[in-house]
Structure 1
Amino acid sequence: MIGLHLARIMKKEYDYTPKMCIFGGCRPLHRWGFPMSYYKEDDNEMIQSMVDCGGMTKEMAKDKLLVSSVLAGIKMDHLCMDRYVFNEKAEKLKAPLWLIGGLDDPRSPPEQLPEWDRYTTCSIQIKTFPGGHFFLKEKEADVLAWLGKVIEE
């Protein structure tokens, strides 16, 4: 969501269009189900849901200092998503999009990634990796190798 809007602002304010945008682990904005209300969850429920989806290990969840340092940011991230208003008429990007996702991601199913074509006048490319919502962490070396190749090309 932030990357898409940043690219739009860069075009509007500075007449700058990125050469490409790469979005990972995010379903198309028109597919978001609102309200999500994750930020309203009890802290322990939120931590457990993060463990369940692979965003935090059980050991990390026991570290009170770590949890207290990340929980506020995660709640604000979820609050922003919850208050997001999709604008079907917003200007499309004039840059190609690369969409990357986890093959088993329940929050951003790979079959929805082609729908990102609604946000650009250019082409989209899709690359999936084994893993779930946190495929970036699960397949970090593979993602970085792929990313280096894409940027080099």
Structure 2
Amino acid sequence: MSRWAEIEKDEPEFAARVRELFEAHDHKFMATLRRDGAPRISVVEARFTGGDVVMGMMGRSLKVADLRRDPRVALSSASDDVPGDPAAWAGDARMSGRAIEVPDPARPGEPSGVFRVDMNEVVLNSISRSEGLVVQAWRTGKGLERRPLG
């Protein structure tokens, strides 16, 4: 698992593009696992702060219960529609890993509802005129890989 600061240090241009896509919209899509193992998709706000990706949620929400039970998580940036010129599409980004609840210094020992994401994978999708769909994936311990799929 890696924190955001490590990805920024390892691949600064890739990290800047991913961050730009995540910050283009206030809301992101988060996937968690329900008690029965079924997926749950929720809308969440996530921020890049202090070298981490941090999400704050209502303490009694189902998504918080999911993360406390099973910290595996995936986040997806919102994505604009592909324009008439597909190569002009801004792209989209995703990250997956584990959500770690961050203690609230004002209330020691109490759950905070604030989680940082420790990532094992970050993905950036874009469209190139010459290559079609291009998927770039950064994985902990493997670094960045670029695959044209078009």
TM-based fold match above 0.5:
no
Structure ranking higher on relative contact order (CA contacts 8 Å, 6+ apart):
1
Q: Which structure has more strand as a fraction of its residues?
A: 2
Greater helix proportion:
1
Normalising by structure 2, we get a TM-score of 0.23
